[in-house]
């Protein structure tokens, strides 16, 4: 049992021995929050908290009950306008223009497992014993609407997921103007807020700030979750580190506009809220219509940020990512983008593929430029048929040739876009997102198709599925290279225009769902100019995401480090590219590049024909190495050891669940003159009593030695030791493979 209900006190306690989440029905019939944190005994009685209420100067909306002011009470789902002046989770505009609502408890249902959220990505259970869900039904009798708050607790993970649903059973339509997915009132503000922020080519930088009175938030109103802020927020105690301490964290399973905020009030309590961004959102609900808000995953950890990440990784690997790729090692791929950009033809591609095959590559991905008349970024998006100038025998022929070489074949698409210079645009100029009588902004020379319209989604399905069938495709990179401007749909009535952004992303999810249902074997990699839409919403459809267009390994340390906070490393697209790097012009050793890229999906983004023989030999070894360890990388526990933002060294590792093997990556960016003689790297997660061997070291070591004293790093060049030095110069790196004997 995971959900304990005290029927008399109407108190609900979700606990699995790791986390407890307790709330109850308050005197006014609304839901109040009692506790969220480390697991408590299932019989804990917590209502005494509210007995401490005493009359205050604050206004009460319960007549004759001066102790009851919502302004001073921790709530589960605060609504607008009745004595709580913090930001609400819900606000509804009613036919008379009023905004006041009052949702009070009516009933609750407990179910084994977890019901799906229709049309939306969400965590799921395959075995209903893995989780329990409680749905609390609240009603506003004047508005004649039902609000259902859903809470799921997973059996083996300190995870609670939440979402909200509203149904209009009255006669009159009303408008949601704010409908958050979760709201959690915490009793203090002694936290620092961790967020993942950045820009194109420098996504996922970990940023931290101490909470202060007022609202601190991250958000997107771009129509995608965005490069700028990932829909993730964590509140950690100031003493929390990677390895110890308390963290409350929130990840939104959604790929469009969002807000995640922490509001600290006059009493230093903190309200955390996540949901669809209320700016440019409203939803009209007529009689018998409902709205389902997306899900939020809330992870509690008392074992630091690594504990938090391991929980997300296990949850996403088992209960979010679907299909055959959920439990399948990732193929080593070669992507043509940085190898050729738009400049290729059939002969060149086949030559590249032949060479790739010799190196041990398993999947050849033809990136942008294979369709329509696409020779640069100015044309042809939407024309998803082969570019006959480049591929004179057609895409089917090329795919066959690639397959005959023993390689799987993958293609790049950007389904949501259309170039003004394209056949599709000529045929359907009215299919784009634009506001009447206003000029329409181009982004990367392209326009956005109105995916809120079903006929457009269906047409793209037809176009893509016919290519997929023709080419026996194994992989699709689904890109999205611009954000939405002049947001408006020609097909929505004026009072429904603010539904556009949500309807758009539902269209994207719908196309994904149609494609994966018909082609379940295809490995999808989502991409939005790199990591501009890398979120749990898309992981439900595409089991991996291209983390960044920046393939410089020094930058990648930061990007992949940040991305690993919520996302499992086998979902983080990471490739080795050529030097000087195309984004930073930095040159790093081939070994350094691979040592970073191993901790992800692994592949190459370079032209193998231009490699020297020595480089080819090294790459062959790298690919063998990755193939030998990819199962561990996919299934193990990931630990961040040294962060790449504050020091010159960075490190991370993966340990198998049974602690029998581990892979450790260590990186030093710039050389140090006259360095310390003995250098070690302390690691973690091993069996302290187990004896481990390490690839290129002769000794065996006990787990405790490696954890508390550290792996001895090979000697670093200091001048006099040049004969024995194993490391020298900038961009040093080591990957250690440990096996328990």
| Interface ranges with ligand GLA (CB under 6 A) | 337, 367-368, 412, 479, 481, 527, 529-530, 546, 549
Distance (Å, whole) CA 427 – CA 221: 30
8 Å CB contact between 31 and 39? no
- For the chain, count helices (H), then strands (E): 13, 39
Q: How far is the CB of 443 from ligand GLA (least distance, A)?
A: 12
Nearest alpha carbon to residue 459 among 383, 573, 553, 549:
383
C-beta of 265 vs 367, nearer to ligand GLA = 367
Q: Which residues contact 589 (CB under 8 A, 6 or more apart)?
A: 731, 733
> Could you tell me the smallest distance in angstroms from the CB atom of residue 636 to ligand GLA?
27
Other residues' Cβ atoms within 10 Å of the Cβ of residue 206? 21
Backbone angles phi, psi at 36, to 5 degrees: -145, 125
CA–CA gap between residue 302 and residue 324 (Å, rounded)? 33
Tokens of 529: 């100019």
Half-sphere exposure of 153 (CA within 13 A, CB side): 22
**Is the CB of 337 or the CB of 592 nearer to ligand GLA?**
337
In this structure, the number of other CB atoms found within 10 A of the CB of residue 599 comes to 24
Joined tokens for residue 636: 């193990």
Q: List phi, psi (to 5°) of 158.
A: -75, 65
Quick one: CA dihedral 70, 74, 75, 80, positive or negative? positive
E strands along 266-402, which residues?
270-276, 283-285, 290-292, 296-301, 333-335, 363-366
Residues 6+ apart with CB under 8 A from 223: 256, 257, 448, 483, 484, 487, 501, 504, 505
582 vs 74: CA distance, rounded Å: 51
Report the nearest approach of ligand GLA to the CB of residue 419 (Å): 12
473's tokens: 């495709």
Closest CB to ligand GLA among 361 and 669?
361
d(C-alpha 554, C-alpha 159), whole Å: 33
Closest approach, Cβ 640 to ligand GLA, in A, equals: 25
**Shortest approach of ligand GLA to residue 456 CB, angstroms?**
21
- Crossing angle of helices 394-404 and 454-471, in 10° steps, is 50
Q: Residue 320 or 527: which CB sits closer to ligand GLA?
A: 527
Distance CA 376, CA 477 (A): 18
- Quote the crossing angle between the two packed helices 394-404 and 346-359, to the nearest 10°: 20
Coil/strand/helix, residue 735? strand
Answer yes or no: 479 catalytic. yes
Tokens of 313: 């990784």
Could you give the angle at the alpha carbon of 605 between the alpha carbons of 599 and 606, nearest 5°? 130
Contact call for residues 530 and 550 (beta carbons, < 8 A): yes
Q: CB-wise, 410 or 536, nearer to ligand GLA? A: 410
Is 221 in a helix, a strand, or coil? Answer: coil
Q: Supply 664's token pair.
A: 């450790």
Instruction: Report in angstroms how near the CB of residue 240 gets to ligand GLA at its nearest.
Output: 34
Annotated catalytic residue within 479, 498, 550, 643: 479
Structure tokens at 510: 């719908």
Catalytic site residue from 549, 552, 637, 643: 549
Residue 543 Cβ vs ligand GLA, minimum distance, rounded to whole Å: 17
Radius of gyration, CA atoms only, the chain:
27
Q: How far is CA 650 from the centre of its chain?
A: 23
Q: How far is the CB of 569 from ligand GLA (least distance, A)?
A: 19
CA–CA distance, 311 with 234 (Å, rounded to integer): 13
Among 237, 347, 350, residue whose Cα is nearest residue 303: 237
Quote the CA–CA distance of 550 and 608 in Å, as a whole number. 19
Residue 87 Cβ vs ligand GLA, minimum distance, rounded to whole Å: 35
Tell me how far, at minimum, the Cβ of 479 lies from ligand GLA, in Å. Answer: 5
Residue nearest to ligand GLA (CB): 368
Give least dist CB 337 to ligand GLA, A: 5
Q: Whole-number minimum distance, CB 458 to ligand GLA, in Å? A: 25
The rounded distance, in Å, linking the Cα atoms of 710 and 651 is: 12
Distance CA(150)–CA(241), nearest Å, equals: 32
Nearer to ligand GLA, 170 or 530 (CB): 530
35 or 342: CB nearest ligand GLA: 342
549 given a catalytic annotation: yes
* Smaller CB separation from ligand GLA, 175 or 200: 200
Q: How far apart are CA 682 and CA 679, in angstroms?
A: 10
Name the 3-class secondary structure at 552: coil
381 versus 633: smaller Cβ distance to ligand GLA: 381
CB 106 within 8 A of CB 86: no
Distances (CA, A) of 176 to 81, 228, 249, 527: 15, 27, 26, 31
State both tokens at 13: 């306690």
Q: Which is nearer to ligand GLA, 311 or 335 (CB)?
A: 335
DSSP string, 105-132: EEEEEEEES----TTS-----SSGGGEE
Q: How far is the CB of 549 from ligand GLA (least distance, A)?
A: 5
Q: Give the active site residues.
A: 479, 549
């Amino acid at each position: 049992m995971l959900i304990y209900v005290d029927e008399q006190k109407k108190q609900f306690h979700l606990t699995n021995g790791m986390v407890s989440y307790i709330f109850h029905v308050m005197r006014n019939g609304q839901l109040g929050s009692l506790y969220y944190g480390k697991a408590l005994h299932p019989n804990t009685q917590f209502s005494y908290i509210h007995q401490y209420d005493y009359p205050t100067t604050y206004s009460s909306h319960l007549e004759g009950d001066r102790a009851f002011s919502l302004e001073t009470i921790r709530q589960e789902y605060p609504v607008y306008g009745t004595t709580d002046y913090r930001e609400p989770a819900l606000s509804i505009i009613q036919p008379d223009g009023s905004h006041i609502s009052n949702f009070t408890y009516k009933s609750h249902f407990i179910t084994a497992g977890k019901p799906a959220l229709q049309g939306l990505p969400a965590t799921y259970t395959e075995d209903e014993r893995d989780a329990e869900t409680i749905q609390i039904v609240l009603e506003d009798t004047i508005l004649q609407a039902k609000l259902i708050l859903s809470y799921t607790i997973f059996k083996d993970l300190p995870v609670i997921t939440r979402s909200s649903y509203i149904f209009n059973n009255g006669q009159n339509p009303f408008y949601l103007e704010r409908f958050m997915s979760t709201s959690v009132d915490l009793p203090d503000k002694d936290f620092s807020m961790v967020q993942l922020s950045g820009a194109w080519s420098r996504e996922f930088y970990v940023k931290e700030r101490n909470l202060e009175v007022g609202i601190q938030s991250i958000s997107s109103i771009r129509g995608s979750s965005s490069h700028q802020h990932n829909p993730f927020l964590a509140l950690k105690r100031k003493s929390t580190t990677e390895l110890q301490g308390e963290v409350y964290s929130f990840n939104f399973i959604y790929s469009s506009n969002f807000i995640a905020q922490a509001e600290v009030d006059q009493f230093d309590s903190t309200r955390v809220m996540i949901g669809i961004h209320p700016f440019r959102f409203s939803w009209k609900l007529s009689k018998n219509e409902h709205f389902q808000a997306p899900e939020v995953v809330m992870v509690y950890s008392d074992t630091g940020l690594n504990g938090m990440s391991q929980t997300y990784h296990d949850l996403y690997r088992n209960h979010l990512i679907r299909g055959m790729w959920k439990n399948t090692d990732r193929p080593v791929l070669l992507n043509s983008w940085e190898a050729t950009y738009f400049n290729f033809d059939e002969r060149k591609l086949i030559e590249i593929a032949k060479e790739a095959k010799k190196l041990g590559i398993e999947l050849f991905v033809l990136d942008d430029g294979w369709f329509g008349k696409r020779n640069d970024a100015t044309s042809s998006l939407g024309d998803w048929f082969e570019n006959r100038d480049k591929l004179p025998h057609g895409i089917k022929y090329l795919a066959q040739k690639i397959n005959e070489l023993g390689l799987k074949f993958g293609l790049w698409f950007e389904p949501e876009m259309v170039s003004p210079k394209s056949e599709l645009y000529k045929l359907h100029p009215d299919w784009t997102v634009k506001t009447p009588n206003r000029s329409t902004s181009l982004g990367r020379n392209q326009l956005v198709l109105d995916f809120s319209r079903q006929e457009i989604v269906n047409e793209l399905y037809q176009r893509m599925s016919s290519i997929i069938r023709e080419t026996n495709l194994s992989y699709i990179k689904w890109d999205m290279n611009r954000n939405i401007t002049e947001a408006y749909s020609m097909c929505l009535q004026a009072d429904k225009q603010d539904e556009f952004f949500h309807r758009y992303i539902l269209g994207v999810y719908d196309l994904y769902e149609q494609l994966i249902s018909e082609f379940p074997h295809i490995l999808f990699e989502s991409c939005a100019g790199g990591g501009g839409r890398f979120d749990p919403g898309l992981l439900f459809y595409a089991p991996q995401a291209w983390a960044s267009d920046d393939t410089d390994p020094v930058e990648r340390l930061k990007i992949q480090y940040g991305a690993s906070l919520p996302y499992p490393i086998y979902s983080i697209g990471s490739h080795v590219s050529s030097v000087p790097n195309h984004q930073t012009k930095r040159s790093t050793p081939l070994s350094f590049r691979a040592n970073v890229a191993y901790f992800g999906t692994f592949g190459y983004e370079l032209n193998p024909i231009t490699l020297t023989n020595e480089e080819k030999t090294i790459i062959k070894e790298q690919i063998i190495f990755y193939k030998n360890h990819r199962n561990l990388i996919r299934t193990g526990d990931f630990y961040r050891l040294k962060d790449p933002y504050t020091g010159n060294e960075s490190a991370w590792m993966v340990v198998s669940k049974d602690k029998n093997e581990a892979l450790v990556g260590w990186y030093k960016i710039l050389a140090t003159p006259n360095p310390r003689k003995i250098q070690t790297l302390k690691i973690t997660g091993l069996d302290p009593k187990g004896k481990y061997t390490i690839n290129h070291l002769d000794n065996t070591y006990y787990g405790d030695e490696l954890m508390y004293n550290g792996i001895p790093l090979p000697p670093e060049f200091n001048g006099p030791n040049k004969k024995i030095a194993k490391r020298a110069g900038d961009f040093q790196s080591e990957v250690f493979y440990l096996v328990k004997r």
